[in-house]
Amino acid sequence: MKKIIFVDIKKCLGCKTCELQCAVAHSKSKDLLGAIKEEPLPHYNVQVEQLENFIVPLQCRHCEDAPCAKICPTHAIEKLGEEEPVLFNKEKCIGCKWCIPVCPFGILRMDKKGKVLIKCDLCIERLKKGEEPACTSSCPTGALKFISVEEITKERKKKYLVELTK
């Protein structure tokens, strides 16, 4: 059963804990104190944005058809299986930026130097150890959840039925 990062924008406070923990998870040290001493500083793959009347954490949605992977001329972006996340290999990236305009969510971006893509990998190393992505496990309000589509549907139906009975 495929899991995704579900965002409940009503719960997001914009605290950026997800950004911080994502950067730590992708640092060499895997530790906050060590990460802030690293050169260059580790970057985060989730970005908290203020959009009109709400705050939303944005990260790769790991599309089933992954247009970014289809267009990448060096196969730096790949989707290896239907249930697998869309992964990025920075050593293969040539910085052509073809992936950016084809992202249907406008999420993909380049690093500050404009040479390498920054993209969520669902904390693949953590997943291999049976852990959740850093952003979901650290969210203090539960705005980010690592959950199956079936579980989301079940929760939504339950909320709807509760609302109907009020």
pLDDT at 102 over 90: yes
CATH number of the domain residue 29 falls in: 3.30.70.20
The structure tokens listed for 130 are 């049976």
User: Is the model more confident about 71 or about 52?
Assistant: 71
Residue 11: C-alpha distances to residues 31, 138, 140, 145 (Å): 27, 14, 10, 11
pLDDT digits 0-9 by tens, 73-88 = 999 999 988 888 999 9
Instruction: Please check whether residue 70 lies inside any domain of the structure.
Output: no
User: Based on the structure, what is the number of domains in the chain?
Assistant: 1
Instruction: Please check whether residue 109 lies inside any domain of the structure.
Output: no
Question: pLDDT-based confidence at 54, cuts 50/70/90?
Answer: confident
Instruction: Please check whether residue 99 lies inside any domain of the structure.
Output: no
Instruction: Please check whether residue 46 lies inside any domain of the structure.
Output: yes
Provide the domain limits for residue 30. 3-59+120-164
Q: What is the pTM of this model?
A: 0.86
- DSSP character at residue 16: -
Instruction: Please check whether residue 50 lies inside any domain of the structure.
Output: yes
Instruction: Please check whether residue 85 lies inside any domain of the structure.
Output: no
| Per-residue b or e along 65-80, where b marks 16 or more CB atoms closer than 10 Å to that residue's CB | ebbbbeebeeebbbbe
Q: Is the peptide bond before 67 cis (omega within 30 degrees of 0)?
A: no
What whole-number percentage of the chain has pLDDT above 70? 99
Among 119, 8, 117, which Cα is nearest to 61's? 119
Among 42, 94, 84, which Cα is nearest to 62's? 84
Instruction: Please check whether residue 154 lies inside any domain of the structure.
Output: yes
Sign of CA dihedral 137, 143, 149, 155: positive
pLDDT digits 0-9 by tens, 118-150 = 999 999 999 999 999 999 999 999 999 999 989
Instruction: Please check whether residue 93 lies inside any domain of the structure.
Output: no
Question: pLDDT-based confidence at 1, cuts 50/70/90?
Answer: low
